[in-house]
Chains A and B, each alone.
Chain A
Amino acid sequence: DIQMTQSPSSLSASVGDRVTITCRASQSISRHLNWYQQKPGKAPKLLIYAASSLQSGVPSRFSGSGSGTDFTLTISSLQPEDFATYYCQQSYSNPTFGQGTRLEIK
């Protein structure tokens, strides 16, 4: 299995901050990387697919980058509704998820 490691595991930030979450794959996965947002008690929601493609309806303050083994999710200016847990997922082989990054209000 391809292992996905996210950092940090948790993050405190303020409204308006720029935030970056990192995801590293245990082997090269090209651009086969997706990002999801999950709020408490809700199903995950797709934000970014294929490393950098913004899912329809997702605000443009979200962006993704990277290829190979290192990827980032950036939120350019945090909004109150962005406080949630974020997961990366590789789709290069059998799917695996990162352990999640919990984004909390400072």
Chain B
Amino acid sequence: QITLKESGPTLVKPTQTLTLTCTFSGFSLSTNGVGVGWIRQPPGKALEWLALIYWDDDKRYSPSLKSRLTITKDTSKNQVVLTMTNMDPVDTATYYCAHRNWDQLLNWFDPWGQGTLVTVSS
């Protein structure tokens, strides 16, 4: 059974850097084809993909947020870390991590972590 859980601060101040950790079990990030993504959802709004890291350490970022994001993995700890710099109140959202499953060239997010609400406020 695959599970993921996000952890990190619930409140950050504007201009600070946010660091979120996704701790997972049931799969290895060293297995061919596997990936972990981060997705966020502002209150009452739609889902927005942020970043994705693959088993081979390939990394992809949302073009609109690329300059502010860094995604890394620690395979030995079964963790993926997302950092977002220069936080702003508009970044207030629930942040999810999710397992990237795949079949040939097709892929999808399943399952997802429970999410963690991050509020940006002074």
Contacts and interface: CB of A to CB of B under 8 A. Distances in A.
Contacts, number: 64
A97 B112 contact: no
Contacts of A36: 47, 109
Interface residues of A, number: 23
A31 B111 contact: no
A49 B113 contact: no
Nearest to A50: B106
A31 B113 contact: no
A55 interface: yes
Contacts of A100: 46-47
A97 B48 contact: yes
B106 A46 contact: no
Q: Is the interface of A mostly helix, strand, loop or mixed?
A: loop
A81 interface: no
A95 B39 CA distance: 10
For B37, B107, B113, the residue with the greatest tally of chain A CB atoms inside 10 Å of its CB is B107
Given A43-B113, A44-B112, A94-B63, A32 B49 contact: no
B48 A49 contact: no
B106 A96 contact: no
A16 B114 CA distance: 30
Interface in A68-98: 87, 89, 91, 94-98
Interface in B100-122: 101, 103, 105-115
3 closest A-B pairs by CB: A46-B110, A43-B112, A49-B108
13 contacts: A32-B105, A32-B106, A32-B107, A38-B47, A43-B115, A44-B96, A46-B109, A50-B108, A87-B47, A89-B109, A94-B60, A94-B61, A94-B62
Interface of B: 37, 39, 46-49, 52, 60-63, 96, 101, 103, 105-115
